[in-house]
Structure formats: C-alpha cells, structure tokens
Chains A and B, each alone.
Chain A
Amino acid sequence: MTAFFKVVLPSLYPFLRLPILAVLAYASASVEIPLILGPNSPPTLAVAIMQWFHDVDLNLRIKASAGAIVQIALTLLLLLGWWQAEKLIKKLSQSMLVNGKREYAGAIIQNITHVITVLMLTVIGLALLGMVLWSFAGFWAYPDLLPHTFVTQHWQSALQQMRTPLVDTLLIGVCATGLAVVLTLLTLESEQHTSKAISRLTSVIIYLPLLIPSIAFLFGLVWVLEQMSSHHTFINVVLAHLLFVLPYVFLSLASSYRRLDPRFSYVAASLGASQAKIFWQIKLPMLLAPIFIAVALGLAISFSQYLPTLLAGGGRINTITTEAVSLANGASRRTSAVYALVQMLLPALGFLLAWALPKMLLTHRE
C-alpha cells in the first residue's frame, strides 16, 4: 500500500489527470443525470440553462446565454481548484515520499478500499438485477420481494417502439465513429510522415470538448449549424457527436499508433514498399485490434450522447438515450427498464465484437 502511494501513484497520476478533469467537467454540467434522478427538484444550473433556452419566451435566451457563461466560469473554477489542490498535496506530501517510513496504516486503507469496492459492485449489481426484474415484471405489489408474474410483453412492445430510435442510434454512431477513426488515422499517419508530433494547440483543440461543459457551447454550435443548413438534422447530429467521439477515439488510438515499432515501416520501405502500401498493408492490419477497440469506444460514446442529439437534432431525431432519459421520469418503470438495459447492451455488444473479431480474423489461417 505504501509502495503504491509513494511510487506508483506519483508516476501514474499524470496519465489519470485528463480523464479525471473530463469527469469533473462533465459532472459539474451534466444535464441528463439531474433530469433522471430529480426531474421535479429545483434544477441545477445546467438544467436551468436548457429550460431557459427552450422557453417560449425568447427573452429568456439571453438569460440562458449568460447562464452558459456562468456555467463555463463555474466549471473552469472547479478545474482550477482541482489543479491547485493537486499542487498543494504534491507540495505537502513531498517530504513524506522520501522520509523512509515503510508503513502507513496499510491494512486499514486496504480494508476501506475493499469495503468501498464491494459496496459499489453490490449497488451496481443490485441495480442491474432490479432493472432486469422490472423489465420482465407483471404485477408487482409493494412489499413483495419478487414480481408475481414474469412477462415478456414490455420487451416486445418496447422493442417495437424503439425500432426507429435504434436504427438512428446505430446510423449516427457508425457515421460519427467512422469519421472520427478516419480523421484520427490520417492525423497520426501524417504525424509520422512529417516526423513531427501534433502541436500542443492541436491536442488542446481535440480534447477541448471534454473539458468545456457541453451545455455551454452546444447552443452556439446549434446556432452555427442552423445558419448553414437547418434541414439536414441527421448530418448536424453526426457532426455534434463527432465533437465528443473524436477525443476518445484519438486518445485510444494515438498511443498504440505511436508505439508501433517504426522499424517495421523501415523494413517495409527497404523492401520497396511505398508509404501508402506500408499504411494499408502493414500498419492497418497490425493495428487492427486497437482500431476495433477505438471503434467500439467511439460507438459507446455516440450511443450515450444526450444533449448533442437533442439540440443538434432539434428534437426530431430520437436515439435510445434520448428516449431513455425522457422515459425515466415518465410513468412506466417497466418500459424504462427495457430502454436502460438496451442502452447498456449496445456498447457492451460493441466491445465484445471488438474483442472477438480481431482474434477470429487473425487466427483463422492458423
């Protein structure tokens, strides 16, 4: 335990920083979570901004814009606070790292970690079980532990209802992820041609959508899209999704792409292969597994987008996620459960395929 805190964590933390900041930014400005958990409670700032934007009274839009600025400031303040806390802890713990003390209540910390892990897993497991039960429940009176009857009717009717949202979800996901993967591969390949890594500014631009609350800039994006072509809602949604899919795809592909032994390319070139041939016949096949993972990740991110779908689609395009959120505070817990499960199964299926397909493709010739 002490080894972890003294040696592993300090070198591990730099890799965790971006994800932590992204989660922090997301949590500070999430719209869908408050909508699901407390639809009738006083809104959080992010939810209030959205309500103002959608109000019939157009004057409220100005208030919403001001709210968006406040939201950005708030999130920035949080990120800044985190950064300062990080520096403070680093400063304060400096002497502890090298004082030679070998043991800091390791057993207690370990036990606490175990308890938290078990608790989290239990809660998630029970929630999942509850959802499965609800999705099959017939009549279920209050004090009973299990439903009286099990029926498949909710699944049947929900699956029928969700046909269009499901197709839209998949189409948008495939388009946004496809674009993101192509853009990422082109960027990484050109990086190797010019043997110059992308500049800091470019990385910041790529990762910016993760750090700025989407509620704060999406309305601006929607306004721009409307000025350009208000009729192509599908394209608008795909572009809005791309903004959020791209950073994750880039993050997941970049390290594998840059880590690929450059000598493979050197050897291939010395054997007379052009850059294009090396890209198509050496790099892509060798990176098949990471590319599949990036695709699955991109799909999962696209599937989970709520606000971009809602805003860029102008409410005319529904995906499983927008349906699930609007159903969550509605009447039927059973239908909600089906939607939530489908929403979970889709990305799971993607990752399963990403894990299995490269294995099948690479071993069938053995």
Chain B
Amino acid sequence: MQKHEQISAANSNTSSLVIEQLTIQRQQQVLLSLNETIAGGDILTIMGPSGSGKSTLLNWLTGMLPKGFSAKGNLYLNGQSITDTASHMRRIGLLYQDPLLFPHLTVAGNISFAMPAGAKAQRQADISQALSQVGLAGLEHRNPQSLSGGQQARVALLRVLLSQPKAILLDEPFSKLDSQLRQETRQLVFEQIRQHKLPAIMVTHDQSDADAAQGKIISLF
C-alpha cells in the first residue's frame, strides 16, 4: 500500500471546520474549552487521559451530547453554522477504534448504506473501484466478520469516505491494530484525509499517532 489514488471527489478549496468559543460543562463544572480552526487536509490531535472530555468533545461535534452535559459555542463547517443541525445532516464522518461494520450487511452493503442515492450500476462500480484501490478487490459479497481486522478497518474507512463527508472525526482509530497494521492503516487514512482536503480531528492517547498526524496537538487534562 504505497500510493492510493483519490477515492471520490468531495473537496472544495475553502473547506474548514471551526470550533468557536466552545465550553462544555458537566453539572456547572467546566470540562473543557476550545477555540480552533482546522483547515481542509489538516489533522488536529486531541490527547488526554480518559475522563478528560475527549469523547464528550466528539459527541458535541457529532450532535450527540449526552444528557447531563451542556455546551456553549458554535460549530462551523465550510462557513456554515451546524451548531444546531441534526446529527445525520452534519456530513461529519466518524471512525472508531472498532470498525463497527454492520454485521447483517455485506461489505458492499455496508458501503452502499453510506452512499448517496444514485444509479445502481454506477454505485456498484464505485464500490468495486474503491475496494480494489485499498487492496480489497473482489470482497464485495463477503460477510464483514469473515475479514481480518486490517481489512475491516479499511472497509470502515471506505464507508466513511464514500458517504462524502465534509469533515472527519477519528476516535482512537488505530488502537486495536497491531503495530505493522497500525502504521499501514494510519498512513492510508491520513493520505485519504489529505487528498480529500477534509478537516479532521483525531482523539488518541498514542504519541506515534499524534506525530504521524503532523498537525496541532492539544492536550486535555
């Protein structure tokens, strides 16, 4: 996996994710405050021990802040405020440490679940092309559970990319992969983020992830 071509075209010149004057509180207690602008292709790394509010930040960004938390501040994606937009309308992709492929759908089914509606043949061709670009050619009709961990991670990445997000959030995305696979997958994910010029936020507790991201690092306590 040296070079990967761009998987789909969803980039614009002005893509950016802006977190403006964010303060998240839990029961009157400030959990974190943040004021950041992430340009397309940049990866902001958030580090910190568990309980420091990393996941809560991701929850706020995806519009899924749990009960008991309150937030002040605004979120802009490509210049538009999405602070109060419903989760599924935000166009913010999400990658977890587990691939979380839907077990009742095939590999192709998982990806087409995420894709915008369109002609069936075109969608199938797009899926096949994307799969072969990450070394998974011909696995369209496989059951996700029958794939290896690295293969599942790549399908999860394709699923996010083909949903044509405008930004990407990574929640400890590589922590369950062994070191060889970790490097390969990381390289693949970061390449795709840069090629698509997507603003990205990565939450991690691994220094090598942070170094590889080559972006700003914020530590929460």
Contact = CB atoms under 8 A, between A and B. Distances in A.
A341 interface: no
B114 A271 contact: yes
Nearest to A267: B100
Interface stretch (B22-30, B62-70, B188-196, B201-209): B62-70
Interface stretch (B13-21, B37-45, B88-96, B119-127): B88-96
Nearest to B171: A263
B92 to A, nearest CB: 6
B106 interface: yes
Contacts of A272: 88-89, 91, 114, 116, 163
B114 A282 contact: no
Interface in B137-180: 141, 143, 159-160, 163, 165, 169
Interface string B80-117: 00000001111111101010101111100000011010
Interface in B31-76: 62, 64, 66-67
Q: State the majority secondary structure of interface residues on B.
A: loop
Contacts of B105: 285
B117 to A, nearest CB: 10
A275 B63 CA distance: 13
Contacts of B64: 266, 269
Given A195-B67, A366-B143, A271 B93 contact: yes
Contacts of A281: 113
Contacts, number: 65
Contacts of B98: 263
Given A271-B159, A273-B88, A365-B141, A266 B114 contact: no
A273 B94 CA distance: 13
Nearest to B162: A271
A290 to B, nearest CB: 13
Nearest to A288: B104
Contacts of A266: 62, 64, 87, 94
Contacts of B114: 271-272
A264 B96 CA distance: 10
B53 to A, nearest CB: 17
A195 B66 contact: yes
Interface residues of B, number: 30
A274 B66 CA distance: 18
A347 B210 CA distance: 57
Contact of B96 (A263, A286, A288, A366): A263
Contacts of A274: 88
A196 B141 contact: no
Interface in A316-332: none
A198 to B, nearest CB: 15
A362 interface: yes
Nearest to A362: B104
Nearest to A358: B104
B102 A286 contact: yes
Interface centre among B88, B89, B106 (most CB of A within 10 A): B88
B151 to A, nearest CB: 17
Interface of B: 62, 64, 66-67, 87-94, 96, 98, 100, 102-106, 113-114, 116, 141, 143, 159-160, 163, 165, 169
24 contacts: A263-B100, A264-B100, A266-B62, A266-B64, A266-B87, A267-B96, A268-B102, A268-B113, A269-B88, A270-B92, A270-B94, A270-B169, A271-B114, A271-B159, A271-B163, A272-B114, A274-B88, A281-B113, A282-B102, A285-B102, A285-B104, A285-B105, A365-B143, A366-B143
Given A270-B93, A270-B94, 10 more contacts: A196-B67, A263-B98, A268-B88, A268-B102, A269-B88, A270-B87, A270-B163, A270-B169, A281-B113, A285-B104
